[in-house]
């Protein structure tokens, strides 16, 4: 009770801080949604209609699998392909781009930034979402209010992956409520919450709605008390609309179709049971009674029941179009906040950091031991070439594999935050690259600090510098390649594609070796120059054997050392005309191209352009054809 009172008073205070925004009434007509998986296509939503009004708290109810989440996905614009019908905002056809800027979607499964505490998450979200106009004190007040409102005070210093299910859900809601968007979609916000928390959450949502927002949530068996809080109830049964109207209208409605709700029964449970066909097939009858959502005959009940505190603000409809909803914070601020978040996550992931340090030491020691003292040994020149090649491969795998494994999961989170317009993709990508570069350099240095001296490579400063820089560049390119591959693929597919793509790059790096100046055919030469690993290898060979280097030392117990003369060896490897400047230029170009590619694919993943959507459709078409012929 006390918490509820606190929430109530704070709720008022909280809303008073927030920017005023125009109301949006959301309507949809004849909305259908089809999924096709290979041979069959399935109609999930069947020509449903409805209207969700600003200032009201709407519940979408229905048995599991009825299509509630699908409806929310389409209304929120999260899923576009496969849907048909009309969606309107304030009576006008909806402009999806604009609508996306005005709405927020809190999905059923909570994806939260790992290793960040509740308070930090909220503070960072406030920095991203409340923008630069608001000063720090005010942001702190808002964050505090939201923490109290959603009863997260006890968990404020708990890292998000240690939160309980209910706390995770409340945190997800809190994060999106921060900037009070005009339209809020929530998929099952009360699932996993205890009764008190659910009703606090629902009364908070009602208060938000009363502030002139459109709040739409799908619900899974609400209690009678929570059910009665809703202004508007929309029941989905088997992809159609079985009821639309007030919560209080449910009982008279069911009575009319000869299904009186027992007095001791929760009307919400009852209508869900009826619409899942538990009392016989009444769905068609219900759908017909509301004309698949076209009519809201039970609207009149709303007026009688629920006008206690209808303090809806002046509804100045029509101004939406003129608002330019840009990001609240500047790209530089976004970059700064994201960078801070990424660095915190890197530093807090202690076990992983130590593991990586350990593995690089191990790898350095193994490679160092395998090629021990071969750097000046004229009888082992070929082996030393192997050492350079091993370094390139070590750089490739140690940086690319962790990205392939971790990034597909991160993309899902980014997709959600990006969808809810926390930040732009450019600041995000910049922060990603900047936060990853120092650790990659650090780990490469650990490996090199062990392997390079153990193998007795030349210790001249310029040679060390070229060797180290080349290795670091290869590592950075490999890391971006990992991002490029995993930005559009799942973990399993990335783990397969990554190493497979690496093989031709590795082979091309050594293609034509041993044939001396006799150049391979043009096509292979061109292909070879597309492999950044080739430049990496050339860089390392130049670092170690580039002129001017004296002849290597032939051990006394050897009769003859063929590759004693370094110049001869380099020529044999087909690298006599390599220029270190060109190598560096090409490595930088590769780094740039790889990052641009990764950025482009990430952008297409998050908001695909027409070409990309076309490719997807064609892909699906081919898959369907293939599975039909099989």
Chain contacts with Mg ion (rule: CB under 5 A) = 69
Which residue sits closest to Mg ion, CB atoms considered? Answer: 69
Query: What is the enclosing helix (H) or strand (E) of 256?
Result: helix 250-256
Q: Is 114 exposed, middle or buried (0-12, 13-18, 19+ CB in 10 A)?
A: middle
**Residues in contact with 492: Cβ distance below 8 Å, sequence separation at least 6, in sequence order:** none
What letter would DSSP give residue 47?
E
Distance CA 521, CA 519 (A): 7
Q: How far is CA 130 from CA 20, 124, 127, in A?
A: 13, 10, 6
Whole-number minimum distance, CB 34 to ligand ADP, in Å?
10
- Choosing among Mg ion, ligand ADP, none, which partner's interface includes residue 66 (Cβ < 5 to 8 Å by kind)? ligand ADP
Distance CA 580, CA 543 (A): 9
- Choosing among Mg ion, ligand ADP, none, which partner's interface includes residue 65 (Cβ < 5 to 8 Å by kind)? ligand ADP
Whole-number minimum distance, CB 60 to ligand ADP, in Å?
8
Q: Which is nearer to Mg ion, 31 or 578 (CB)?
A: 31
Angle, in degrees to the nearest 10, between helices 461-486 and 425-454: 140
Query: What is the enclosing helix (H) or strand (E) of 58?
Result: strand 57-61
Q: Which is nearer to ligand ADP, 69 or 398 (CB)?
A: 69
285 token code pair: 């009858």
- Choosing among ligand ADP, Mg ion, none, which partner's interface includes residue 64 (Cβ < 5 to 8 Å by kind)? ligand ADP
- Choosing among Mg ion, ligand ADP, none, which partner's interface includes residue 37 (Cβ < 5 to 8 Å by kind)? ligand ADP
- Choosing among ligand ADP, Mg ion, none, which partner's interface includes residue 165 (Cβ < 5 to 8 Å by kind)? none
**Residues in contact with 433: Cβ distance below 8 Å, sequence separation at least 6, in sequence order:** 480, 595
What letter would DSSP give residue 615?
H
Whole-number minimum distance, CB 50 to ligand ADP, in Å?
15
Whole-number minimum distance, CB 243 to ligand ADP, in Å?
15
Whole-number minimum distance, CB 276 to Mg ion, in Å?
14
Asked if 152 and 170 count as a contact pair (C-beta separation under 8 A), the reply is yes
- Choosing among ligand ADP, Mg ion, none, which partner's interface includes residue 62 (Cβ < 5 to 8 Å by kind)? ligand ADP
Distance CA 173, CA 109 (A): 12
Q: Which is nearer to ligand ADP, 51 or 188 (CB)?
A: 188
What is the bridge-based pairing of β-strands 214-218 and 57-61?
parallel
Angle, in degrees to the nearest 10, between helices 350-370 and 381-419: 160
- Choosing among Mg ion, ligand ADP, none, which partner's interface includes residue 458 (Cβ < 5 to 8 Å by kind)? none
Whole-number minimum distance, CB 67 to ligand ADP, in Å?
4
User: Would you give the distance in Å from CA 166 to the centre of its chain?
Assistant: 22
Q: Which is nearer to ligand ADP, 60 or 149 (CB)?
A: 60
Q: Which is nearer to Mg ion, 69 or 457 (CB)?
A: 69
Q: Which is nearer to ligand ADP, 63 or 539 (CB)?
A: 63
What letter would DSSP give residue 159?
B
- Choosing among Mg ion, ligand ADP, none, which partner's interface includes residue 70 (Cβ < 5 to 8 Å by kind)? ligand ADP
- Choosing among ligand ADP, Mg ion, none, which partner's interface includes residue 186 (Cβ < 5 to 8 Å by kind)? none
Beta bridge partners of 60: 218, 234
Whole-number minimum distance, CB 412 to Mg ion, in Å?
17
What letter would DSSP give residue 105?
E
Whole-number minimum distance, CB 165 to ligand ADP, in Å?
18
Residue 126: which of 183, 66, 53, 180 has the closest Cα? 180
Q: Which is nearer to ligand ADP, 64 or 579 (CB)?
A: 64
- Choosing among ligand ADP, Mg ion, none, which partner's interface includes residue 67 (Cβ < 5 to 8 Å by kind)? ligand ADP
523 token code pair: 């096509």
Whole-number minimum distance, CB 471 to ligand ADP, in Å?
45
Distance CA 210, CA 487 (A): 40
Q: Which is nearer to ligand ADP, 143 or 186 (CB)?
A: 186
Q: Is the dihedral of CA 61, 66, 67, 71 positive or negative?
A: negative
Whole-number minimum distance, CB 239 to ligand ADP, in Å?
7
Q: Is the dihedral of CA 95, 97, 102, 103 positive or negative?
A: positive
Q: Which is nearer to ligand ADP, 215 or 572 (CB)?
A: 215
Phi, psi of 300 (to 5 degrees): -55, -30
Distance CA 553, CA 555 (A): 6
Angle, in degrees to the nearest 10, between helices 461-486 and 580-606: 20
Whole-number minimum distance, CB 239 to Mg ion, in Å?
13
- Choosing among Mg ion, ligand ADP, none, which partner's interface includes residue 430 (Cβ < 5 to 8 Å by kind)? none
- Choosing among ligand ADP, Mg ion, none, which partner's interface includes residue 210 (Cβ < 5 to 8 Å by kind)? none
- Choosing among Mg ion, ligand ADP, none, which partner's interface includes residue 303 (Cβ < 5 to 8 Å by kind)? none
Q: Which is nearer to ligand ADP, 185 or 535 (CB)?
A: 185
What residue ranges bind ligand ADP (CB under 6 A)? Answer: 35, 37, 42, 44, 62, 64-70
Q: Which is nearer to ligand ADP, 69 or 199 (CB)?
A: 69
Whole-number minimum distance, CB 220 to Mg ion, in Å?
8
Asked if 467 and 583 count as a contact pair (C-beta separation under 8 A), the reply is no
Q: Which is nearer to ligand ADP, 172 or 329 (CB)?
A: 172
Distance CA 427, CA 332 (A): 7
- Choosing among ligand ADP, Mg ion, none, which partner's interface includes residue 609 (Cβ < 5 to 8 Å by kind)? none
**Residues in contact with 221: Cβ distance below 8 Å, sequence separation at least 6, in sequence order:** 268, 269, 272
Whole-number minimum distance, CB 73 to ligand ADP, in Å?
8
Whole-number minimum distance, CB 74 to ligand ADP, in Å?
10
Q: Which is nearer to ligand ADP, 203 or 624 (CB)?
A: 624
563 token code pair: 């590759």
Q: Which is nearer to ligand ADP, 61 or 575 (CB)?
A: 61
Beta bridge partners of 379: none
Asked if 199 and 239 count as a contact pair (C-beta separation under 8 A), the reply is no
């Amino acid at each position: 009770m006390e918490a509820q009172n606190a929430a109530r008073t704070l709720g008022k205070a909280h809303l008073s801080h927030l920017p005023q925004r125009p109301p949006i009434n959301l309507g949809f007509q004849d909305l259908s949604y089809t999924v096709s998986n290979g041979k069959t296509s399935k109609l999930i939503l069947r020509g449903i209609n409805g209207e969700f009004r600003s200032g009201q708290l709407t519940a979408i109810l229905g048995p599991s699998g009825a299509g509630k989440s699908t409806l929310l996905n389409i209304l929120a614009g999260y899923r576009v392909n496969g849907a048909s019908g009309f969606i309107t905002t304030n009576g006008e056809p909806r402009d999806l781009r604009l609508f996306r800027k005005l709405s927020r979607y809190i999905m059923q499964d909570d994806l939260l930034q790992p290793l960040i505490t509740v308070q930090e998450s909220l503070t960072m979200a406030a920095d991203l979402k409340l923008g630069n106009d608001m000063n720090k004190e005010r942001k702190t007040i808002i964050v505090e209010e939201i923490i109290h409102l959603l009863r997260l005070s006890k968990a404020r210093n708990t890292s998000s992956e240690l939160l309980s299910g209910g706390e995770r859900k409340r945190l997800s809601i809190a994060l999106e409520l921060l900037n009070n968007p005009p339209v809020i979609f929530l998929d099952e916000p009360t699932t996993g919450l205890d009764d008190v928390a659910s009703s606090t959450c629902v009364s908070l949502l009602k208060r938000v709605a009363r502030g002139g927002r459109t709040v739409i949530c799908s619900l899974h068996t609400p209690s009678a008390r929570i059910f009665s809080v809703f202004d508007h109830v929309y029941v989905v049964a088997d992809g159609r609309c079985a009821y639309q109207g007030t919560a209080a209208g449910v009982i008279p409605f069911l009575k009319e179709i000869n299904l009186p709700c027992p007095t001791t029964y929760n009307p919400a449970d009852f209508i869900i049971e009826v619409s899942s066909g538990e009392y016989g097939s009444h769905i068609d009858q219900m759908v017909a009674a509301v004309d698949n959502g076209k009519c809201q005959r039970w609207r009149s009940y709303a007026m009688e029941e629920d006008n206690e505190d209808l303090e809806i603000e002046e509804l100045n409809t029509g101004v939406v179009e003129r608002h330019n909803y840009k990001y609240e914070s500047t790209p530089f601020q976004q970059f700064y906040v994201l960078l801070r978040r990424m660095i915190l996550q890197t530093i807090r992931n202690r076990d992983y950091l130590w593991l990586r340090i350990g593995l690089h030491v191990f790898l350095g020691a193994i490679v160092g031991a395998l090629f021990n003292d071969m750097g000046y040994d004229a009888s082992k020149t070929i082996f030393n070439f192997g050492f350079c090649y091993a370094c390139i491969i070590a750089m490739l795998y140690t940086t690319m594999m962790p990205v392939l494994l971790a990034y597909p999961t991160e993309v899902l989170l980014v997709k959600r935050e990006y969808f809810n317009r926390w930040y732009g993709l450019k600041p995000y990508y910049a922060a990603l690259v900047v936060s990853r570069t120092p650790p990659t350099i650090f780990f490469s240095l650990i490996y090199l600090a062990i392997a390079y001296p153990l193998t007795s490579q030349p210790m001249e400063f310029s040679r060390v510098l070229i060797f180290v820089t080349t290795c670091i560049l290869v590592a950075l390119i490999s890391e971006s390649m990992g991002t490029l591959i995993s930005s559009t693929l799942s973990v399993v597919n990335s783990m397969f594609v990554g190493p497979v793509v690496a093989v031709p790059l590795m082979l091309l790096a050594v293609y034509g070796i041993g044939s001396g100046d006799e150049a391979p055919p043009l096509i292979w030469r061109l292909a070879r120059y597309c492999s950044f690993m080739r430049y990496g290898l050339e860089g390392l060979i130049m670092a170690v054997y580039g002129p001017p280097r004296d002849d290597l030392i032939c051990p006394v117990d050897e009769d003859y050392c063929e590759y004693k003369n370094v110049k001869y060896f380099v020529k044999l490897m087909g690298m006599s005309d390599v220029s270190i400047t060109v190598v560096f230029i090409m490595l930088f170009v590769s780094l740039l191209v790889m990052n641009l590619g990764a950025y482009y694919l990430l952008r297409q993943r998050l908001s695909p352009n027409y070409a990309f959507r076309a490719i997807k459709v064609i892909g699906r078409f081919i898959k369907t054809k293939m599975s039909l012929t099989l």
